Chains A and B, each alone.
Chain A
Amino acid sequence: MHAEQEKIISDSWMFPTTYNQLVSILVSGMMIETRDLTKKFNGLTAVDHVSFNVKKGEIFGLLGPNGAGKTTTIRMLATLTRPTEGTATIGGYDIVKDDNEVRKLIGLVSEKIIMYDRLTAKENLWFFGRLYDVPKEVLNERIDELLRLVQLSNWKSSQVGTFSSGMRQRMNVIRALLNMPEMLLLDEPTLGLDPQSSVEVREFVKKINRENKTTIILTTHMMVEADMLCDRIGIIDHGKIIALDTSANLKKLVSGANTTVLELEIANLTTNMVSLIQSLKCVNSVSQDNSTHIKVHANGDEAFDTIIDSVRTEKGKISSVKNLEPTLEDVFLYITGHEVRDKADRKIPVRRHRHFMPRSRAR
């Protein structure tokens, strides 16, 4: 294994190719610089004046719910979509004016699998490799190395259509590495994968970053993933970056504000109780996980006592209390006032009870 990795590392493709680019990276130390990047679709602003920098060799995460503008941002950086306003440079090249130079530097792992089902693993990689003008002998070796790296060597001559989704995603990731990019863009790399495959993909991403010093920008809606992988995280919501820092610093935002996060299990939980807790002055937000569990975000030193007292006055039977460390989820909640899952989950249960169920009974 080590010999192959060294080969990838020592490959000349990795290093800045022109003088200009070298200078720009040395001066700023930034791989990506975006200024007021904006994209509008028919009046809808998908990405709204986004500005951030990504350092060379860094793993940068864009965290946000579906529809926040993560994919559009990635697509603009990957030169697949033109920004409506603002600019961005990758490795010193403008993503609009020098798009072809940018393309040489980057590898894209898209949300969708970029693989042709009817071609074999090798044919797929060969096809894309040749589009990058990788010399034939080099390409042959590189395909073997990459397939070995993700344990797919035995499947080299099988059609990708027969692969499991985990295998397909691994193929999707190594496809982006064919040109030994200096910068890897990953759009939801673990979307739809089982936990084990997700872990494999994450480990692989970390490895590429560690061993090849590849700069990585990834989008995710999973807090755990962002927490595990990213050096710095930009939280994006409604097309705007609303917070940008390291995971530890982001969490300090929550705990620094003297916030208490409690998870309460109350055997006889009622809606009255929930609304009472919500109405307390010290409470920021309450979310109900199921019929007995609630999660309370509160401020101030007295918060813990006040909440427990109010539950007791309503004759609530507290089965357990957990005082939680803030997670990225709490950070998101603290900053935006709503949960990441909010948009998708909130309305469905309500509708079912009020409209859907009686109607189906009437039939």
Chain B
Amino acid sequence: MGIKSLVSHSLMIAWKDLMELFRNRMMLLMLVLMPLLMMTMAGFMFPSNTSTSHVSVALVNQDEGYANYPSASATLIAALETMNSNTDMMTITSASSLDEVRSMIQAGEVEGGIIIASNFTLSLVTGKQGAITIVTDQTNPQMSMLLQIALKEVLEQMGTWLAQQNVQGLNPAVNSNNSLAIVKPYIVQTEGAVLGDFSYFDFIAPGLMAMTVMMSVMTGLPAAISHEREVGTLDGMMVAPINRLSVILGKTLAQTARGMLQGTLILVLAVFLFGVTIRGNILLIFALLLLGVFSFVGLGIVITSFAKDQETAMMVMMALMFPMMLLSGVFFPIQQMPWYMQSISKALPLTYATTALRKVMVLGASVSMITTELAVLIGFGVVMTTIAVPVFKRVITR
């Protein structure tokens, strides 16, 4: 009887909350728009090599040549231009000296510079290395890094090509294929653990799903309860002869439904709009999301109990949400971070939810392969809930 009425009251409260939600047009619109925006933004915000184009670069050719030998710098520039006309990566303007390049960077006219040394041809002809300097803009580290990578690649190809020529010049018996093998004895190929094309969306979709579902419980629960407390309707439930647990249970149920709806929406968008392929079991994915909800409910309830009004609750949420978003590996791989940040990250449950979901969705992992993550999530959930329930019961009847 106790359990039966606990469940029926919880369902009643969940029904009421969802009715309120679905009657709120604006809220419903945001519910759909949020995942779409998140997905689009997160997917396109971060730079990829192919997306870089028309970076303005100043070119300084100080090469003085050597006797009657053909100018090596001219060959280099011609090759660079041919390559650039294919990729449109750079917009090349010429400049006279390093100082001029510097002032151009300072004035913001160019984003980097290439300088060919005066003894370039001389060095090459006399069997030395030709020096090329890349000037970067340190205020824009992301851009300067890209430029370095791109230019290095171009120059390396040029270098290879030159070396091939030299080898062939030394021994006419060597053909172009052999010369490549002499100059570059290794070829590196990359292959993923799972076959198929991967984009940043594949990386971001599981993280976003985990985040949205868990955040909706963590933020939705305190917001909903403190709102009702402020408006006074919470008293209506509290004065009824119902178990206090059914209030939390009902509200959690409603928020979970909302979160799962959003999570599903992200999944659908990811698959049909952004071409993400799901390799794992769909049921396992949903089970993981639900487990994530369970692990976050306790935290949500604790916040609800301590935040007396809606505004405070929102502030606390914000303070918790941002570090979680940035440190849980939703947007950036945690391995990129310094060790101390990584250890913070390892204390956040969202990290485990994201990792587990990613393993299942992208790598098609099964339950046995994500036992660590499952254990952490279950453990966190159990601990938080054991703290939360008595705290909530005490606080609610002050």
Contact = CB atoms under 8 A, between A and B. Distances in A.
Interface of A: 78-82, 100-101, 103-104, 106, 108, 110-116, 118-119, 123, 127-128, 130-133, 159, 175, 179
A114 B19 contact: no
B232 A132 contact: no
Given A79-B238, A112-B232, A114-B236, 18 more contacts: A79-B397, A80-B239, A103-B241, A110-B236, A112-B235, A114-B232, A118-B24, A119-B16, A119-B23, A123-B16, A128-B236, A130-B9, A130-B12, A131-B9, A131-B237, A131-B242, A133-B5, A179-B240
A159 B23 contact: yes
A112 B233 CA distance: 8
B235 A80 contact: yes
A116 B233 contact: yes
Contacts of A78: 235, 239
Given A80-B397, A114-B236, A159-B23, A100 B16 contact: no
A132 B237 CA distance: 10
B392 to A, nearest CB: 15
A128 B236 CA distance: 8
B128 interface: no
Nearest to B20: A118
Chain A to chain B: the 6 pairs with minimum beta-carbon distance, closest first: A112-B232, A114-B236, A131-B240, A103-B241, A118-B23, A108-B239
Interface in B232-281: 232-233, 235-242
Contacts of A132: 240-241
Interface residues of B, number: 23
Contacts of A103: 239-241
A80 B398 CA distance: 8
B233 A115 contact: yes
Contacts of A113: 232
A100 B241 contact: yes
Interface string B22-33: 011000000000
A114 B242 contact: no
Contacts of A104: 241
Given A114-B232, A118-B24, A127 B16 contact: yes
Contacts of B241: 100-101, 103-104, 131-133
Interface centre among B8, B16, B20, B398 (most CB of A within 10 A): B16
B231 interface: yes
24 contacts: A78-B235, A78-B239, A79-B397, A101-B241, A103-B240, A104-B241, A108-B236, A110-B232, A110-B236, A112-B233, A114-B233, A116-B233, A118-B20, A119-B19, A123-B16, A127-B12, A128-B236, A128-B240, A131-B9, A131-B241, A131-B242, A132-B240, A132-B241, A179-B240
Contacts of A110: 232, 235-236
Interface of B: 5, 8-9, 12, 15-16, 19-20, 23-24, 231-233, 235-242, 397-398
B70 to A, nearest CB: 81
Nearest to A123: B19
A144 to B, nearest CB: 20
A113 B398 CA distance: 21
Contacts of B8: 130
Nearest to A106: B239
Contacts of B9: 130-131
A78 B239 CA distance: 7
B16 to A, nearest CB: 5
Classify the interface of chain B: helix, strand, loop or mixed. helix
Given A82-B398, A128-B240, A132-B240, A114 B235 contact: yes
A132 B8 CA distance: 11
B235 A108 contact: yes
A115 to B, nearest CB: 7
A118 B9 CA distance: 20
B64 to A, nearest CB: 76
B398 A81 contact: yes
Contact of B20 (A112, A119, A128): A119
Contacts of B242: 131
Contacts of A112: 231-233, 235
B397 A81 contact: yes
Contact of B238 (A80, A101, A111): A80
B264 to A, nearest CB: 24
Contacts of B19: 118-119, 123
A101 B241 CA distance: 7
Contacts of B398: 81-82
Contacts of B397: 79-82
Contacts of B24: 118
A156 to B, nearest CB: 16
Nearest to B398: A81
A345 B233 CA distance: 31
B42 to A, nearest CB: 32
Nearest to B9: A131
A95 to B, nearest CB: 11
A3 B146 CA distance: 85
A98 B38 CA distance: 50
A104 B242 CA distance: 9
B15 to A, nearest CB: 8
A127 B9 CA distance: 9
Contacts of B240: 103, 128, 131-132, 179
Nearest to B12: A130
A103 B240 CA distance: 6
A103 B237 CA distance: 11
A145 to B, nearest CB: 20
Contacts of B12: 127, 130-131
A91 B293 CA distance: 43
Contacts of B235: 78, 80, 108, 110, 112, 114
A333 B9 CA distance: 48
A214 to B, nearest CB: 16
Interface centre among A113, A114, A175 (most CB of B within 10 A): A114
Contacts of A101: 241
A179 B225 CA distance: 24
A159 B235 CA distance: 20
Contacts of A81: 397-398
B38 to A, nearest CB: 26
